[in-house]
Chains A and B, each alone.
Chain A
Amino acid sequence: MDFFLQLLINGLSIGFLYGLSAMGFVMIFKSSSVLNFAHGEILAFGAFLFLALATWAQLPIALAFVVTLAGAFVLGFVIERIFLRPLIGEPLIQVIMLTVGLASMFKGGMLLVWGGNLYTYPEFLPEGLGVNWGVIQVPPVYVAAVIIGSLFLLLFGLFFKFSSQGIYMRSVADNQPAALSLGVHVRRVFALSWAIAAVVAGISGIVLGIINGINVHELSSIGLKVFPVVILGGLDSISGAIIGGLIIGLLETFTGGYLSPSLRDIVPYITLVFILLIKPYGLFGLVEIERV
């Protein structure tokens, strides 16, 4: 029973992080229908930028955090501006291939700079953050992850609900030509959604880095694990991303705990194939009906 509870808590915390990572991905897909294969690399970039600022530049943690988010924002903006804007209106294949190329480029670049080693952040979380209720023990990093994640989830929820830019973004996601004809600056919305998605990715990168350590291969593989999550949740549903993340996280930890640790990494993809066969638009996705 203890083992079960521990797995449950681990699964939920990891799943929550998957959901957070998937959120940025969904945001890009919703506004510009681009499948971003470079998401994991942006995430890793956030983690490494934070590492560089916190250890090499010796900035205070809070400042390093803010600067990292600003850096991720700029990165997202620049990616959209340089690489994706020329492809607006081009076939989908080109756009997807471009993100595959970007992923390979960023990953190679980061490996050239930092190598394949495992780094860790300096300790900065207060000890009292951990939860210890007898059988249920949650390490401080998970608590911090959930707090940071929920905080930003709330922030983004408010942003989409009340700010004018957030409303523009939702309108573009909903119906691009209509938004365009009502005067929404669609290109700015694209740029902004890439920038915000990069910020979200950066946050998830930092949090994942705190938990698992920072390694280019590990972090960029999260970007691929996002696919089972978003397919399960529905490609264009942000709340679906969180729920999908929780389900995939639980599935992974329980498989790792009860069946076999080596099966753990593969189980999300097996699930993915079955979802595609059974319920291809996911739990909360918009069902596209197309008939000839």
Chain B
Amino acid sequence: MSRKTLRFRPCGNFKVRYREELAVFETDFGRLWAAAGLAALFVLVPWAATPYLLYVVNLIGISAIAALGLNILVGYTGLISLGHGAFFGVGAYSAGILAVTYDVPFLAVIPLAGLMTAVVGMVFGIPSGRLKGLYLTIATLAGQFIIEYILVHWESVTGGTMGMTLPAPTLFGVPVTGDVSFFYLIYTAVVVMVFIAVNLMRTRYGRAFVAIRDNDRAAEGMGIPIFPYKLLSFAVSSFYAGVAGGLWAYYMISISAEPFNLGLSVEYIAMVIIGGLGSISGAIFGTVFITLLNEGLRWVTDTIMNMGGVAGVELTLAPLREFVFGLAIVLFILFEPRGLAEIWRIVRSSFRLWPFSY
């Protein structure tokens, strides 16, 4: 369908073709905003941000990729994974092993790390063939512990408790170092992964995922083979975790098995719940929220510690963080189960419908 003029406002739902229904941007307004936002992100942020801020922004980018993957599994396919943190770790270690032991170039390492993680994820996804969501949750919980154990104890490959140290990535012969170059690297990956996710959800595969989530029996009745699609969803989700893990490993330079614990998995779950299940933008909102919350809490505990503690109260970061994350998950489930994406939608539509927004 060719149009001469830009369309800024939909004047009602008059779609006559599936193409229009499937369009990513309903109006050109959204398209322009997305382009402007991307331009601002790539030009303004590295120019305006302080090194610390840039570091936080980079962490958000990496976590956003992983959270996006988890949202494909949880939000779109309706399977809960409690092992996403471990899969992220598998990605990081795969990248480490490929880069250090086998000397694979950076551009190949990241997708390969994703693929290796996808294979590992599929192993733990196999129980989903016979069982429904709840059992898969338990299987991924087991996966979390087993992977953690392997990362620490398979010393000849993973370096055990010593961990691994990665070389600086080189892109076309130019070494990438420093936060600014990593910013471009990470956010290019984010854009690519978001592009893939958005478009995956518009294909038959994405629609099959949603059908399985909404009613698996009906989906099977309509001829969707449940098991291959569940496994595929698991593989895609793990692939995202692996890519994010690989980037993280390069960004952090040295990796050890410690961060990839159950707490990290819960953190990712918090991201998708708070951001909004089954929404691409939700995964990103959730990541921003959780990462900022993380840094905010760090700031609060540091300030209180510097003030000499309030009446001998010793405030440590880890338990406080755990408490606040749990509280945030619980509050969002009780009061806004569709997450920040829904709040954003409400705010937006109340602007659009003003003065009749009720």
Find the residue from A100, A112, A115 having the highest chain B CB count within 10 A: A100
**Does A177 touch B at the CB level, under 8 Å?**
no
Cα-based distance from A108 to B318 in the complex (angstroms) = 8
Decide if A270 touches B142 in the complex (CB within 8 Å).
yes
Q: A87-B333, A277-B127 are in contact. Are A269 and B146 (CB under 8 A)?
A: yes
Cα-based distance from A93 to B262 in the complex (angstroms) = 18
Decide if A103 touches B221 in the complex (CB within 8 Å).
no
Decide if A107 touches B322 in the complex (CB within 8 Å).
yes
Cα-based distance from A80 to B133 in the complex (angstroms) = 22
Contact with B along A199-243 (1 / 0, CB 8 A): 000000000000000000000000010011001000000000000
Decide if A270 touches B146 in the complex (CB within 8 Å).
yes
Q: For A102, what are the chain B residues with a Cβ–Cβ distance below 8 Å?
A: 326, 330
Q: For A86, what are the chain B residues with a Cβ–Cβ distance below 8 Å?
A: 334
Decide if B326 touches A227 in the complex (CB within 8 Å).
no
Q: Is the interface of B mostly helix, strand, loop or mixed?
A: helix
Q: B323 is contacted by which of A108, A228, A277 (Cβ under 8 Å)?
A: A108
Decide if A104 touches B126 in the complex (CB within 8 Å).
no
Question: Closest approach, in angstroms, between the C-beta of A46 and any C-beta of chain B?
Answer: 19
**Does B36 touch A at the CB level, under 8 Å?**
no
Q: For A92, what are the chain B residues with a Cβ–Cβ distance below 8 Å?
A: 133-134
Decide if B138 touches A112 in the complex (CB within 8 Å).
no
Q: Which of B245-253, B269-277, B280-288 contacts A (4 or more CB under 8 A)?
A: B269-277
Q: A93-B74, A101-B327, A104-B266 are in contact. Are A224 and B273 (CB under 8 A)?
A: no
* A interface residues, how many (CB within 8 angstroms): 42
Cα-based distance from A191 to B57 in the complex (angstroms) = 44
**Does B53 touch A at the CB level, under 8 Å?**
no
Decide if A224 touches B141 in the complex (CB within 8 Å).
yes
Decide if A269 touches B334 in the complex (CB within 8 Å).
no
**Does A179 touch B at the CB level, under 8 Å?**
no
Decide if A98 touches B127 in the complex (CB within 8 Å).
no
**Does B130 touch A at the CB level, under 8 Å?**
yes
Decide if A292 touches B142 in the complex (CB within 8 Å).
no
Cα-based distance from A109 to B320 in the complex (angstroms) = 7
Cα-based distance from A35 to B333 in the complex (angstroms) = 16
Q: Which residues of B contact A (CB under 8 A)?
A: 74, 78, 80, 82, 124, 126-127, 130-131, 133-135, 137-139, 141-143, 145-146, 149, 153, 217, 220-221, 262-263, 266, 269-270, 273, 277, 315-316, 318-330, 333-334, 337
Q: Which residues of A contact B (CB under 8 A)?
A: 35, 83, 86-87, 90-94, 96-98, 100-109, 111-112, 115, 224, 227-228, 231, 262-263, 265-266, 269-270, 272-273, 276-277, 280, 290, 292
4 closest A-B pairs by CB = A108-B323, A105-B326, A101-B329, A104-B326
